[in-house]
Chains A and B, each alone.
Chain A
Amino acid sequence: MKVLMFGWEFPPHITGGLGTACFGLTQGLSKAGVEVLFVVPKAYGDEDEQAVKLVSASNIKLNIKEAGFGKHWEKVTFIEVGSSLIPYVGPEDFAKVMELSKMRKLSQTSSVFQESFEFSGKYGTNLIDEVSRYALVGASLAEKMNFDVIHAHDWLTYPAGIAAKEISGKPLVVHMHATEFDRSGENVNPQVFDIEKNGMEAADRVITVSNFTRKIVIDRYGIDPEKVFTVHNAVEHVIKPELSEVDRNVDEKVVTFLGRITYQKGPEYFIEAANKVLKRDPNVRFVMAGTGDMMHKMIRRVARLGISTRFHFTGFLKGDDVDRMYALSDVYVMPSVSEPFGISPLEAVRSNVPVIISRQSGVSEVLTHAIKINFWDVDALADAIYGLLHYPAMNKMIEKHGPEELKEMKWDRAALLVKDIYLQVVK
């Protein structure tokens, strides 16, 4: 079986869990005998192509004068909207971005129709141009390539998936790694919402990364439950040995938050809990690793609470630094407000770090040996942190059983479930 797969990220060029998940899944699919043609906006040449054939959309030249081209464009025009769409940016940064684009007087769509187009593959100001262009590439590839099923990851690639389905008549599977409700709470961007909804409606099957997300897809987008299937994410089991032991240069215990500092991740709850713990036990250090639109606000809050000597910001961490951060941590906290899955707690467990996760996360459905709290319950969060730092039996238990649990969460297994879903729709 051959899959035409549309993604936005592929390791090592990733900003979040999406790229990691795509990588793990394609590895698993390849082992299951599924051939994957993976399209990214821009390939850098250093990606691991053992399991997939990577296609860089930047290298696909489109001939606008070609007879069939108008047909392609018709299929994707519904996303031709003239505003800056930035999925992982909150209101504060958005305002800044708007200022910039006004100054530069960017024309939004003209470049989409050029013969060649250099994708940034990021989530910048001309994202909607990139999404449109990517859809055109999708349509073009669908015409040239030979495949059995189309698989599109997250809304950025849904227009491409739909176009490819229209052109080829092949079944479409869309994969919801996150919904607009996770990213933005109740302030959803209606354009993104529409693209997600259209994508899921056009799809033959919808894969959600958790039952938590499945419920949102059914309740908030009105998608037919019959075609929505949950396939939980997994985690890679290998960790570089040199990263598992790191010299610590502080005596205190370290409690870590690692992720984008955005509304979705609940950073403010982490800070309030830290404050409560520090009042009782000053011998703890808290680390907020990552960056995001709420970072400055969070730094101000920490300063106002007067805990800055015990609360540290690292900025964005990537690659090996992430594993080093885990190795330095005694407790890992993910207080997400709405987390479709959340691979990072599994990575922490892999590094033998006990985790506290919010119940509003997909990962809480699969991880039993973790402390689960409601994200808003700062007292419970503080209590869990205190407990993990003071009652060593919990660490022992989690260290003993965590790895066993992880063994069950293999991408190979997830890939088999995805393959089953392909088989349902491939004639």
Chain B
Amino acid sequence: MRSVCFFFQVHQPYRLRTYRFFDIGDNHHYYDEYLNRSIINRVTEHCYIPMNNLLIGLIKKYGKKFKVSFSITGSAIDQMQQYAPAALKSFQELVATGNVELVAETYSHTLVALKDKDEFKQQVQKHCDKIEELFGKRPTSFTNTEMIYDDKIGEMVAEMGFKVMLTEGAKHILGWKSPNYLYCNAINPRMKVLLRNFRMSDDIAFRFSEQKWSEWPLTADKYVQWIKQVGENQETINVFVDYETFGEHQWSTTGIFDFMKALPAAIFKNTDFEFATPSEVANHLQPISAIHVPQPISWADEERDTTAWLGNDLQDEAFDSLYSLTEKIKHVDDPSILRDWQYLQTSDHFYYMCTKWFTDGEVHKYFNPYPSPYEAFMNFMNVLSDLMIRIDRYLQNLEKNKPKPDTILVTTI
């Protein structure tokens, strides 16, 4: 069986409001409600609802032959519940068709895999719980935030019982090899690894409406020609894209919906490819070899590494300050503190602090609420300073309310 594996990432961060230093210790409301509400409503209208309906239509038309997979982050789901319940309902309908696999990740799309194993596991559990609660299925496939992967992360995810993991088919990892096979983790070969075909993915996600592109306009027939050119023994074409590609990054006027509508028929008619979800690909195919990834890779920017989120002084200080709280947070059982702890870890906050966009990357400016990385950093640090104060106050209270050890001592004597 040869297959096209579609994976869509759905994610929305809780963007922070302008939080001044004089709010620290005093005002614990961190989020820009207006901005978050308007963005999720816009994306719901432009992308989630129309694209979900389109997929439901395709599933009805082609039955078991057409399948897709998704990861929907916890912070996106929370915002749908809060601001756009129609979007959540629409996703539930789509998943109820039975042709959709939901993939697990960290609850609020965090970078914790690079920092703390226990916390990572908790966040993945939390996401699985949420998905199971709302969609009735517990995920068995995994993708880490922004496709961040290395050998150790793969091994850690295998330990948690996942069978397959999605990541980037980064050139510097693959070399001459093709992403169109099933691979396995270099430490634990039972963990299967699917590699994103970045050319075929970015043709849709980035280049689709680019009129300067020599292949513009991209039609379903043209795309199918490219699929046909894939070597005969190659087994899977992994097209992993942000879901907002459909209707938001590529507006409906670009013809992106028509393209997607026409694509399955064109594939069925001209090729022997079918559609499959990550766990199906992992079950049906034999890994061709192990893939060695000693340093973390991701699907971001030209470098396909983690420098979009970490590495400059601002990002590193923010990241280290945030994770200096991991020990303390274990003793906290306050839902509002725990919620903010989750949302502050969202990778987007670190993305806004990236200085690479001074030279490249329109993508970094997209949905970015800050005029510069410095503002992003200051604002985040102010919020984090407040969270630190709250945690300390909480722990002090806990300490106060504990029975005093010396009184216990007196009674036992």
A353-374 CB contacts (< 8 Å) to partner B: 368, 370-372
Q: In whole angstroms, what is the CA distance A279 to B375 when docked? A: 22
B324-377 CB contacts (< 8 Å) to partner A: 355, 358, 371-372, 374-375, 377
Contact yes or no, A397 B21, CB < 8 A: no
How many A-B Cβ pairs are below 8 Å? 60
Give chain A residues whose Cβ lies under 8 Å from the Cβ of B20.
379, 382-383
Q: A368-B358, A400-B313 are in contact. Are A391 and B378 (CB under 8 A)?
A: yes
Q: A279-B22, A368-B358 are in contact. Are A392 and B317 (CB under 8 A)?
A: yes
Please give me the residue from chain B that is nearest to A387 by CB atom: B378
What 1/0 mask marks residues of chain B from 311 to 328 whose CB sits below 8 Å from any chain A CB?
011101110000000000
B381 proximal to A (CB < 8 A): yes
Q: A397-B314, A397-B355, A400-B313 are in contact. Are A391 and B377 (CB under 8 A)?
A: yes
What 1/0 mask marks residues of chain A from 270 to 303 whose CB sits below 8 Å from any chain B CB?
0000001101100000000000000000000000
Give chain B residues whose Cβ lies under 8 Å from the Cβ of A391.
317, 377-378, 381
Contact yes or no, A383 B318, CB < 8 A: no
Contact yes or no, A372 B21, CB < 8 A: no
Please give me the residue from chain B that is nearest to A398 by CB atom: B374
B145 proximal to A (CB < 8 A): no
Q: In whole angstroms, what is the CA distance A386 to B317 when docked? A: 16
B245 proximal to A (CB < 8 A): no
Contact yes or no, A372 B317, CB < 8 A: no
Contact yes or no, A393 B358, CB < 8 A: no
What 1/0 mask marks residues of chain A from 24 to 41 whose CB sits below 8 Å from any chain B CB?
000000000000000000
Give chain A residues whose Cβ lies under 8 Å from the Cβ of B358.
368
A156 proximal to B (CB < 8 A): no
Please give me the residue from chain A that is nearest to B380 by CB atom: A391
Please give me the residue from chain B that is nearest to A401 by CB atom: B355
- Whole-angstrom distance from the CB of A253 to the nearest CB of chain B? 14
Contact yes or no, A384 B22, CB < 8 A: no
B1-42 CB contacts (< 8 Å) to partner A: 20-22, 24
B73 proximal to A (CB < 8 A): no
Give chain B residues whose Cβ lies under 8 Å from the Cβ of A372.
371-372
A386-413 CB contacts (< 8 Å) to partner B: 386-387, 390-394, 396-397, 400-401
Contact yes or no, A393 B318, CB < 8 A: yes
Q: In whole angstroms, what is the CA distance A382 to B24 when docked? A: 13
Give chain A residues whose Cβ lies under 8 Å from the Cβ of B377.
387, 391, 393-394
Contact yes or no, A396 B374, CB < 8 A: no
Give chain A residues whose Cβ lies under 8 Å from the Cβ of B381.
387, 390-391
Contact yes or no, B371 A394, CB < 8 A: no
Q: In whole angstroms, what is the CA distance A382 to B314 when docked? A: 19
B71 proximal to A (CB < 8 A): no
B143 proximal to A (CB < 8 A): no
Among A279, A384, A397, A400: residue with most chain B CB under 10 A:
A397
B75 proximal to A (CB < 8 A): no
Contact yes or no, B382 A387, CB < 8 A: yes
Contact yes or no, A386 B313, CB < 8 A: no
Within 8 Å by CB of B313, from A277, A379, A396, lies: A396
A254-283 CB contacts (< 8 Å) to partner B: 276-277, 279-280
Give chain A residues whose Cβ lies under 8 Å from the Cβ of B21.
277, 280, 382-383, 386-387, 390
Within 8 Å by CB of A394, from B22, B24, B374, B382, lies: B374
Contact yes or no, A371 B375, CB < 8 A: yes
- Whole-angstrom distance from the CB of B373 to the nearest CB of chain A? 8
Contact yes or no, B378 A383, CB < 8 A: yes
Give chain A residues whose Cβ lies under 8 Å from the Cβ of B371.
372
Q: In whole angstroms, what is the CA distance A379 to B371 when docked? A: 16
Contact yes or no, A393 B314, CB < 8 A: yes
Q: In whole angstroms, what is the CA distance A111 to B412 when docked? A: 105
Give chain B residues whose Cβ lies under 8 Å from the Cβ of A279.
22
- Whole-angstrom distance from the CB of A382 to the nearest CB of chain B? 7
Contact yes or no, A371 B22, CB < 8 A: no
Please give me the residue from chain B that is nearest to A279 by CB atom: B22
- Whole-angstrom distance from the CB of B120 to the nearest CB of chain A? 24
- Whole-angstrom distance from the CB of A367 to the nearest CB of chain B? 11
Q: A276-B22, A382-B21, A387-B21 are in contact. Are A397 and B312 (CB under 8 A)?
A: yes
Please give me the residue from chain A that is nearest to B19 by CB atom: A383
B289-321 CB contacts (< 8 Å) to partner A: 312-314, 316-318
Give chain B residues whose Cβ lies under 8 Å from the Cβ of A400.
313
Contact yes or no, B314 A383, CB < 8 A: no
Contact yes or no, B316 A393, CB < 8 A: yes
Please give me the residue from chain B that is nearest to A396 by CB atom: B313
Give chain B residues whose Cβ lies under 8 Å from the Cβ of A384.
374, 378
- Whole-angstrom distance from the CB of A284 to the nearest CB of chain B? 12
Q: In whole angstroms, what is the CA distance A371 to B372 when docked? A: 8
Q: In whole angstroms, what is the CA distance A384 to B376 when docked? A: 11
Q: In whole angstroms, what is the CA distance A372 to B385 when docked? A: 22
Q: Give 9 closest A-B pairs by Cβ, nearest first.
A: A393-B317, A387-B378, A386-B21, A393-B313, A396-B313, A397-B313, A391-B381, A383-B20, A393-B314
Which residues of A come within 8 Å of B, CB atoms? 276-277, 279-280, 368, 370-372, 379, 382-384, 386-387, 390-394, 396-397, 400-401
Pull 15 A–B residue pairs with CB atoms less than 8 Å apart, ordered by A: A276-B22, A280-B22, A280-B24, A371-B375, A372-B371, A382-B21, A382-B22, A386-B21, A391-B378, A393-B313, A393-B316, A393-B318, A394-B377, A397-B355, A397-B374
